[in-house]
């Protein structure tokens, strides 16, 4: 089994499709030469299909595949270049420019061009034919069927729930031990076990246990993973991750002294829990130093460490907990839950085979889970084959961990070629790295690894399904989802799965740590060193350069001169101030990441010659001022991230031509630039980008006063968009009518999940959430934010929106009441709302124009208002004196507001985050679940206050614990 075969099959399929593309049909004498190349590629595909089924290749076979790999890459580069030049020619680019793009062409004479193309095609075909003629000596046959596409039986949604069986006793035992920690400043507990046994899973269950949450004021999780040579056990890194875990802020630039100072402020005297996951170091000096510093915590603080077997022999911890393999009974339950529905459990032969397979998995949860998902979509015949052929190849005499790795390899081997390519590419990322789903999908597409499941399916949808399959098959884990949509945002690769990826990709991928890459055989490189790789001072054929250096300087010119075959280039955080015009040399480039280069102001106009560019990331380029005026020429662009490009004031003309765009984070509408369309015309451009998905911020700088005659519907066709933010940035008061008209004509699509409105100057909001008859036009809305709308006096009734989870209102200075209509006794008041934030509402008096408390109290149900509300923040509401009752809260902040404000909690619950300023005794009804009054804090023991901040509290001296 070798990654070269899976990747080569993917490349061969891509070549086959490219040869038949409409662009290459423009080449003179296309049929006479290209048809022969198609026959050659078809033969190669058939041979590679048989080779891919061979698990163990000889050195000679590896050498043959390596030669074929290089030849296929050459063919891919050549045809890619042809296709690019044809596109440039059709686009009217002059001959001089084309000579720079392809030095071997002269568009002065089409006959010479055709001759040179034909000659190069023949040369590459002869090279491929010569290599393929030697395959028969290896015993491989030409399989007649075409390259299989990934079967639909494996496809699915992103829904992900890790199956955990038989760990209840372990979790309870560890939690009980943690509860016993009380007499010491800080105690240690190590969860010890073999790879894949579930140490991290158990640690996470402990971390989320209700009893643990109650005991510890602060909890932190740090992935250490120090057995990698490029990630040593360094206290500075651990302190940084701890601080970021607490504050949720980036502290990359902080040194160890500052980190310790900040941690002392955060942890001093508090009972905390710290999980250090996947630790290997046995350096007693470092552990003693860590212990010494963490003694700043309060009594009962705990450090939980997960580690492979054997670590505790040299380092003596307070308590060791050895996590055993599953029992045979629990192993079988786990396998059944994953691989067998009720119907399959009635099949005696399947059950017998399944039990034998489970025994081969050494009672290891990871191995059982992987095999279970692998077999869940296979029939009886395939189960037999898996047991008799594939599992039979595992050596019974091997150590358990080697057996587990062999089983994981079987799961990889059962992937279709294109999925193998996608998974092995993930070896570029370090262990325990959270990998963004959108980023990895973009990189797969850039490398042409995605083969659609069926005709007409978009590359993006196919890539999403690829991700789902790998997630379902347990190649990915520790998924992070969007808070409101449940879409996957990022994931990790299990450490053992990462080992598999490294092994199968070792001929393709180089992970640079301390030594330069001197070989020219690698095609994808990840660099995590702060100094530039010397190995690139000469020509190289790498196709990916990713890095995490955050360097202060970076010699981009050298890289652009010697790495002209790049498909993916990551220059984020490299400190570059200008991008050289020589970027146009990278005519194969699909993916360009320039994010977090704070001094980058513009892009060279030559970047528009990169007609294959699909992904451009400028996120965090705070000083970026202007996009290239000919950006419209990048017609293949699918992703354009302009987040936090704060100096960018306009979009170039012709944005409506970029119809392949799937992600456009920012769209700027401005009437300040002469020669450009007016604001309405620019919005009409946006209207044509019907493939946009995700989130978009629309900034409107226009000052037009007259109403336009546009039919509107600027957002109505954008049915894939999830969130829209509309920012009105004109300071002119004369723009009020214009803004109202523009807002009315936005007409967001009914699939929208979130909407933000900022800087709007109207007194009411027209047809954005509700129509003129108060009918909801956004039935799926989950999140609404209205901010800095100074003149707003009336907002639509929002209390009956069935799916609304977040409502954030800030600086609506003229709003006196939230609702003008009466409540209905037939529906709940904000039935799904979980978070409500009200900031700077200087005139806000109450929710309803009549006394809402009296109205709500007349309703039959006591749970009528805010049944799901968990977070309530009221800040700077000087006139607010009444508020509808809440059921129970986790977070309650009341600051800079009216002293007479009362909030009744219908149910007594657990407030973990309480922040109240001014005289606390005035808020006694916050803690009352009846109509009786009582002395300040008399029944405060009913609550567990994990964060209790009182800014100005005159009666705090009466508080006793």
Burial of 635 (0-12, 13-18, 19+ CB in 10 A): middle
Beta bridge partners of 301: 186
Instruction: Return the closest-CA partner of residue 162 out of 477, 497, 487.
Output: 477
Structure tokens at 209: 């246990």
Q: Are strands 568-570 and 544-547 parallel, antiparallel or unpaired?
A: parallel
Residue 275, classed as helix, strand or coil, is strand
Instruction: Note the residue count of the chain.
Output: 961
Tell which residue, 515, 472, 478, 470, has the closest CA to residue 495: 478
Asked if 639 contacts 616 with a C-beta cutoff of 8 angstroms, the reply is yes
Q: Is the separation of the CB atoms in 61 and 69 below 8 Å? A: no
Task: Identify whether the C-beta of residue 855 lies closer than 8 Å to the C-beta of residue 875.
Answer: no
Mean pLDDT, each 10-residue run in order, the chain (961 residues):
71 85 63 78 83 74 84 89 77 49 48 72 86 65 50 47 86 92 82 90 93 90 71 80 85 82 89 90 79 89 84 64 94 95 92 94 93 93 91 81 90 91 92 91 96 89 95 89 83 91 87 61 80 61 84 77 94 92 95 95 96 96 95 95 95 94 95 67 89 95 62 89 93 76 89 94 82 77 95 89 95 90 67 95 85 49 75 92 84 86 74 68 43 33 38 35 34
The two structure tokens encoding residue 726: 């509309």
Question: Tokens representing 403?
Answer: 């057996």
Predicted pLDDT at 957: 33
The three-state secondary structure class of 872 is strand
Residues 94-128: tens digit of each pLDDT? 444 444 444 444 444 566 666 777 788 888 888 88
DSSP label at residue 377: T
* 755 DSSP β-pair partners: 724, 784
For 678, half-sphere exposure in the C-beta direction (CA atoms, 13 angstrom radius) is 11
Specify whether the CB–CB gap between 894 and 919 falls below 8 A: no
Q: Rounded to an integer, what distance in angstroms lies between the CA atom of residue 702 and that of residue 679?
A: 6
CATH number for 174-322 (one of 3.40.50.300, 3.50.50.60, 1.10.3720.10, 3.30.360.10): it is 3.40.50.300
Which run of H or of E encompasses 171? helix 168-180
* Pair of tokens at residue 29: 């004498």
**Is-contact 86 26, C-beta < 8 A?**
yes
Q: Are 364 and 197 in contact (CB under 8 A)?
A: yes
User: What's the CA angle centered on 130, arms 124 and 133, to 5 degrees?
Assistant: 135
Q: What is the DSSP string of 692-740?
A: --EEEEEEE-----SPP-----TTTT-TTEEEEEEEE----GGGHHHHH
Please tell me the distance from the alpha carbon of residue 15 to that of residue 21, in angstroms, as a whole number.
Answer: 10
Residues in CB range of 102: below 8 A, 6 or more apart: 81, 84, 85, 587
Which is it for the CA torsion 381, 383, 384, 389, positive or negative?
positive
Q: What pLDDT is recorded for position 25?
A: 66
Whether the CB-CB separation of 760 and 729 falls below 8 Å is answered with no
Q: Which residues of 289-319 are buried (b: 16+ CB within 10 A; e: fewer)?
A: ebeebbebbbebbbbbbbbbeebeeebebee
Determine the pLDDT at residue 644: 95
Structure letter (DSSP) for residue 430: P
3-state helix, strand, coil in the chain (%, to 5): 40, 15, 45
User: What backbone torsions phi and psi does residue 373 show, to the nearest 5 degrees?
Assistant: -70, -35
Provide DSSP, 321-345: EEPPPPPHHHHHHHHHHHH--TTGG
> Which helix (H) or strand (E) segment is 947 a member of?
strand 947-950
Strand partners, 187: 302
CA distance 316 to 227: 19
Neighbour tally for 20: CB within 10 Å: 12
Please report, for residues 461, 573, 576, 585, 604, the alpha-carbon distance to residue 581 in angstroms, rounded to integers and kept in the order given: 34, 19, 13, 9, 5
Compute the distance between CA of residue 721 and CA of residue 743 in angstroms, rounded to an integer. Answer: 17
Q: Partners of 948 in the beta sheet?
A: 914
Distance (Å, whole) CA 878 – CA 521 = 69
Q: Cα 937 from chain centroid?
A: 44
DSSP H helices, 666-735, are 679-687
In which element (H, E) is residue 420 found? helix 417-425
**Which helix or strand (DSSP H or E) is residue 544 part of?**
strand 544-547
* Residue 755: count of CB within 10 angstroms of its CB: 21
Query: DSSP assignment, residue 390?
Result: I
């Amino acid at each position: 089994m070798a990654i070269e075969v899976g990747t080569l099959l993917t490349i061969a399929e891509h070549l086959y499709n490219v040869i038949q593309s409409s662009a290459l049909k423009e080449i003179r004498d296309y049929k006479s030469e290209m048809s022969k190349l198609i026959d050659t590629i078809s033969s190669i595909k058939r041979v590679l299909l048989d080779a891919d089924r061979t698990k163990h290749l000889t050195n000679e076979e590896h050498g043959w595949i390596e030669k074929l790999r290089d030849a296929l890459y050459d063919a891919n580069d050549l045809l890619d270049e042809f296709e690019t030049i044809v596109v440039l020619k059709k686009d009217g680019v002059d001959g001089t420019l084309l000579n720079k793009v392809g030095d071997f062409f002269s568009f002065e004479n089409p006959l010479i061009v055709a001759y040179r193309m034909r000659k190069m095609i023949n040369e590459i075909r002869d090279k491929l034919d010569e290599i393929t003629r030697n395959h028969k000596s290896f015993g491989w046959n030409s399989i007649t069927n075409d390259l299989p596409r990934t079967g639909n039986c494996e496809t699915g949604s992103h829904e992900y729930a890790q199956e955990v069986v038989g760990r209840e006793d372990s979790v309870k035992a560890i939690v009980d031990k943690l509860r016993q920690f009380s007499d010491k400043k800080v105690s240690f507990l190590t969860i010890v076990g073999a790879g894949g046994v579930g140490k991290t899973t158990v640690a996470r269950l402990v971390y989320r246990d209700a009893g643990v949450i109650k005991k510890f004021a602060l909890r932190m999780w740090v992935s250490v993973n120090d057995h990698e040579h490029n990630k040593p056990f360094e206290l500075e890194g651990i302190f940084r991750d701890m601080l970021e875990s607490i504050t949720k802020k980036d502290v990359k630039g902080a040194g160890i002294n500052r980190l310790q100072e900040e941690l002392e402020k955060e942890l001093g005297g508090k009972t905390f829990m710290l999980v250090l996951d996947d630790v290997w170091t046995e350096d007693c000096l470092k552990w003693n130093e860590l212990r010494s510093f963490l003694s700043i915590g309060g009594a009962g603080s705990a450090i939980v460490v997960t580690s492979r077997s054997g670590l505790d022999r040299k380092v003596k911890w307070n308590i060791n907990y050895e996590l055993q393999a599953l029992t045979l009974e629990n192993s079988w339950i786990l396998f059944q839950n994953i691989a067998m529905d009720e119907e399959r459990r009635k099949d005696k032969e399947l059950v017998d085979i399944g039990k034998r397979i489970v025994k081969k998995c050494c009672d290891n949860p990871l191995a059982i889970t992987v095999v279970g998902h692998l077999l869940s979509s296979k029939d009886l015949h395939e189960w037999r084959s898996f047991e008799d052929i594939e599992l039979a190849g595992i050596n019974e005499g091997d150590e358990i961990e080697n057996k587990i790795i062999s089983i994981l390899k079987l799961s990889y081997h059962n992937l279709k070629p294109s999925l193998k390519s996608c998974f092995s590419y993930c070896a570029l990322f370090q262990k325990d790295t959270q990998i963004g789903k959108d980023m990895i999908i973009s990189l797969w597409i850039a490398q042409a690894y995605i083969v659609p499941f069926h005709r007409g399916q978009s590359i993006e949808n196919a890539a999403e399904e690829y991700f789902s399959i790998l997630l379902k098959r347990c190649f990915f884990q520790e998924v992070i989802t969007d808070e409101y949509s449940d879409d996957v945002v990022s994931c990790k690769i299990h450490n053992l799965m990462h080992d598999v990826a490294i092994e199968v990709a070792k001929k393709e991928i180089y992970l640079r740590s301390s030594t330069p890459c001197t070989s020219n055989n690698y095609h994808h490189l990840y660099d995590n060193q702060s100094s530039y790789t010397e190995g690139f001072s000469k020509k190289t054929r790498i196709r990916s350069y990713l890095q995490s250096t955050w360097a202060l300087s970076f010699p981009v010119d050298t890289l652009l001169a010697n790495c002209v075959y790049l498909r993916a280039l990551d220059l984020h955080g490299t400190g570059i101030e200008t991008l050289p015009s020589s970027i146009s040399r990278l005519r194969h480039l699909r993916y360009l990441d320039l994010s977090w280069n704070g001094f980058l102001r513009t892009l060279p106009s030559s970047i528009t010659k990169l007609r294959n560019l699909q992904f451009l990331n400028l996120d965090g380029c705070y000083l970026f001022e202007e996009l290239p005026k000919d950006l419209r020429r990048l017609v293949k662009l699918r992703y354009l991230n302009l987040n936090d490009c704060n100096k960018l004031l306009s979009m170039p003309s012709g944005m409506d031509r970029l119809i392949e765009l799937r992600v456009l984070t920012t769209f700027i509408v401005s009437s300040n630039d002469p020669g450009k369309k007016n604001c309405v015309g620019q919005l009409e451009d946006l209207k044509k980008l019907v493939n946009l998905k995700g989130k978009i911020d629309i900034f409107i700088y226009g000052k037009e006063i007259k109403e336009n005659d546009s039919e509107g519907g600027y957002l109505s066709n954008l049915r894939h968009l999830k969130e829209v933010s509309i920012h009105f940035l004109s300071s002119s008061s004369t723009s009020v009518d214009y803004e109202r008209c523009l807002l009315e004509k936005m007409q967001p699509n009914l699939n929208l999940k979130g909407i933000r409105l900022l800087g709007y100057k109207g007194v009411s909001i027209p047809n954005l959430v509700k129509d003129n008859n108060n009918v909801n036009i956004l039935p799926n809305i989950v999140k609404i934010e209205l901010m800095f709308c100074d003149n707003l006096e009336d907002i639509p009734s929002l209390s009956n929106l069935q799916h609304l989870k977040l409502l954030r209102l800030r600086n609506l200075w003229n709003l006196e009441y939230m609702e003008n209509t009466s409540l209905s006794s037939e529906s709940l008041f904000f039935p799904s709302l979980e978070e409500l934030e009200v900031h700077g509402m200087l005139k806000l008096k109450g929710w309803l124009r009549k006394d809402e408390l009296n109205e709500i109290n007349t309703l039959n149900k006591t749970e009528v208002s805010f049944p799901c509300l968990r977070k309530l923040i009221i800040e700077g509401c000087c006139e607010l004196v009444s508020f509808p009752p809440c059921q129970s809260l986790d977070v309650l902040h009341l600051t800079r507001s009216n002293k007479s404000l009362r909030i009744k909690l219908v149910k007594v619950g657990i407030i973990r985050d309480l922040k109240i300023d001014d005289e606390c005794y005035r808020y006694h009804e916050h803690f009352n679940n009846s109509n009786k009054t009582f002395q300040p804090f008399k029944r405060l023991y009913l609550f567990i206050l994990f964060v209790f901040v009182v800014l100005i509290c005159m009666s705090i001296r009466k508080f006793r614990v």
